[in-house]
Amino acid sequence: MDPKKANSNNADLKKETDVTATPLSNLAGRRIGETPGLLSSQNPHSSTLTISPLAHGTKKPIPDRYDNTLTPQNAKYDAVDSPLSQAEKLRLWRHDAYMQHHYRTAEYIGDKILALTNDLNDAFWLAQVYYASGHYARAEQLLMNQELEKSVYCRYLSALCMTKMDKWLEALEKIGETNPFKDDNELGDKIKNQDGGIKLEASMCFLRGLIFANQNDFDRAKDSYIEAVKVDAKCFEAFDELIRNNLLTPEEEWKLLSSLDFEDSTEENSELVRALYTTRLGKYVHMDKFIDAESLLKEVYSLGSNGDVMLSRADLLFIQCRFKDCLQVCEKILEMDKFKFSVLPNYLACLYELGGRNKLFLMAHELTEKHPEEAVSWLATGIYYLAINKVAEARRFFSKASMMNPHFGQAWIGFAHTFAVEGEHEQAIAAYSTAARLFQGTHLPSLFLGMQHLQLNNVILAEEYLNLSCQICKTDPLLLNEMGVVYYHKNDLRTAEMYFIEALNAASILDNDPSAWLSIHANLGHVNRRLKKYEEALSFFEDVLRVSPRDSNIYSSMGLVNLQLGRLFDAIHNFHEALSLAPNDPVATDLLKRALEENAAVSFGQSETSFLFSGLDVTNDIILTTKTQPKLKLGKGAWNKANRHISSTPSRFYTEENDDDDDSTMDI
């Protein structure tokens, strides 16, 4: 090796070591290495502690060894006028070890410092070291000191240790069931953030929310998370819990965003943070605001290639049933960061929808081998087994994922779907009901409950659940389609037609892939046929065939309409087309027989249309119900549309990319 090159590398390494050696780097205008004191002023609106000299009695603070204002020539540590005491030097040693993650060293030296000084600040920082190294019981025991318990920050750290040991009730008792500083915020002007950090009050509200969520008290958890992010918009973890766990409805999400004070919390970054939060919200409403926020992040802040910004685009593409585009975005994200697990539900769902079984197998194998502690690894395994029609195995792995992370919505819904696809409606209803209780801000569990009751012909219960789903989200095309199906069953054809048209409009607003909603066109065709608007019915059926030309049910339906119009030749041709695609279709066979008999009667001058049409209503009911009774079939993309956050849910078993071409019949 070249000696000059080796010396150069050593010099670079020395520079890097020098830069990272000091724990006294400036961050947000404060020294993170300084030993903070207790919250003597009991101020929860500050993110730092109020007493922060490196050692008591030190009149002059220790200068930063690598302050940004220093030049490289004098960037070395210079002694201050008064030399450091023995305890002060030990504290520097402890902090260097802590910042460089030498926790055993920090524990060892920190314990000796505390024995020498018996200082409460040293006790607090030793507890911090214990917490960072995973010794939660030792940290909690140390923080039980009566003097330390007077500090809000120490009580927060103590409660945090308790949650790590699953002592949830004790933790709640430590920080209180309500925010004791709430009245201070409501009196006069809101207390401003003092140092640019996250307010301790917000962190305590967030921790309170975690405790309530663990106790399945989701209403109080939601209130605590909302309070945390309102106290300080920088408390992103509280905001993330609200969005990721679907605790808010789409409208509630936007209402919360508009109530946040970004100017106070983030100051000059308020526009950036608001745009980032906007991209995390649901994509059903206020699409214009989402597009504006995304454009701002890309054009002004050059964040177009950021993983989280790209993930928000993937969420939108998935909702629009543009699975190929969504898959491409997900693959780009994984190329940059293969450990970004938040993108995997969308990625796995797209692979399922596009028939990527080999990639599903490889991804599931890699995840379970390298990351068995992650719930998404077992979600991937469940999706793979579902893709190869091994439903029992899929159910087992979905269940495992939900037990590893009880708040993993995709696993819960996937578990419920495994019952649905096998026609085990009662078990599916029980599983969907659990999901509805856990994820109150999403309309999907109620939607699926309504669909299950439709399978059981419980139209009244189906309508109740679908109405409940509509109260949460009124712009989902799948939900509007199912509402139309309910009214079709109730013979309220005008209302059914209205819902189907609304479903098409909602799909167009979301800029959905048109092929994803062929079932709505087919449903409109059936409704118009029942309303005796035969030409309109044929038009809708032809719309379906232009995209999906191999659907035998659509040919049967067109033949039925042509029979009612007296176009016997066209009807016979339609039934032949249907039987060429599905030779064993009893409905098409029966209708073809009737059409041939009618044609023969016309040829002999003995038209008996009354004989032909006397049974058409019964035949119609057979066409509308037999396709969907054995298992759930919603048309291409419709089931996937329902699964925009639930990656494990199938509409049917696809064996090829174009196997879904025959799903455009009226799906009830």
pLDDT, position 604? 64
Lowest mean pLDDT among 33-37, 105-109, 293-297: 33-37
Q: Which of 191, 277, 204 is nearest to 234 (CA)?
A: 277
Averaging pLDDT over each range in 55-59, 534-538, 599-603, which range is the top one? 534-538
Give φ, ψ of 31 to 5 degrees: -90, 115
Helix (H, G, I), strand (E, B) or coil at 595: helix
Residues 470, 124: Cα–Cα separation, whole Å? 51
Quick check: 499 pLDDT over 90?
Answer: yes
Q: What is the mean pLDDT of residues 519-528?
A: 94
Higher-scoring residue by pLDDT: 473, 649: 473
Q: Which of 42-56, 342-356, 418-432, 620-634 has the lowest mean pLDDT?
A: 620-634
- Contact criterion met (CB below 8 Å) for 439 and 374: no
More reliable by pLDDT, 659 or 602: 602
Q: For position 392, what pLDDT does the model report?
A: 95
Asked if the model's pLDDT at residue 192 lies above 70, the reply is: no
- Residue 512: pLDDT band with limits 50, 70, 90: confident
pLDDT of 261 reads 87
pLDDT score at 184: 61
Q: What is the mean pLDDT of residues 23-52?
A: 40
The tens digit of pLDDT for each residue in 96-142 reads 999 999 999 999 999 999 999 999 999 999 999 999 999 999 999 99
CB 207 within 8 A of CB 175: yes
* Token duo for residue 61: 């603070």
Of 45 and 33, more confident: 45
Q: Is the Cβ–Cβ distance between 667 and 634 less than 8 Å?
A: yes
Tell me the two tokens of residue 402: 């939900």
Domain ranges of the chain: 19-173
- Is residue 12 pLDDT above 80, yes or no? no
CATH superfamily of 19-173: Tetratricopeptide repeat domain (1.25.40.10)
The end-to-end CA distance of the chain, in Å, is 74
Which has more confidence, 185 or 200?
Answer: 200
DSSP characters over 412-467: HHHHHHHHHTTT-HHHHHHHHHHHHHH-TT-SHHHHHHHHHHHHTT-HHHHHHHHH
DSSP 399-423: HHHHHH-TT-HHHHHHHHHHHHTTT
Summarised one tens digit per residue, pLDDT across range 236-289 is 999 999 999 989 998 899 999 999 988 877 778 889 999 999 999 988 888 889
Given this model, what pLDDT does residue 185 score?
57
Q: Would you state the pLDDT for residue 668?
A: 23
Q: What is the mean pLDDT of residues 202-215?
A: 95
Average pLDDT over residues 607-626: 39
pLDDT tens figures, 380-396: 999 999 999 999 999 99
Calculate the average pLDDT of the chain. Answer: 80
pLDDT at 328 over 80: yes
Is the CB of residue 506 less than 8 Å from the CB of residue 476? yes
Q: What does the DSSP assignment read for 610-650?
A: HHHHTTHHHHHHHHHHHTTSSS----TTHHHHHTSS-TT--
Quick check: 642 pLDDT over 60?
A: no
Which 8-state DSSP code applies to residue 651? Answer: S
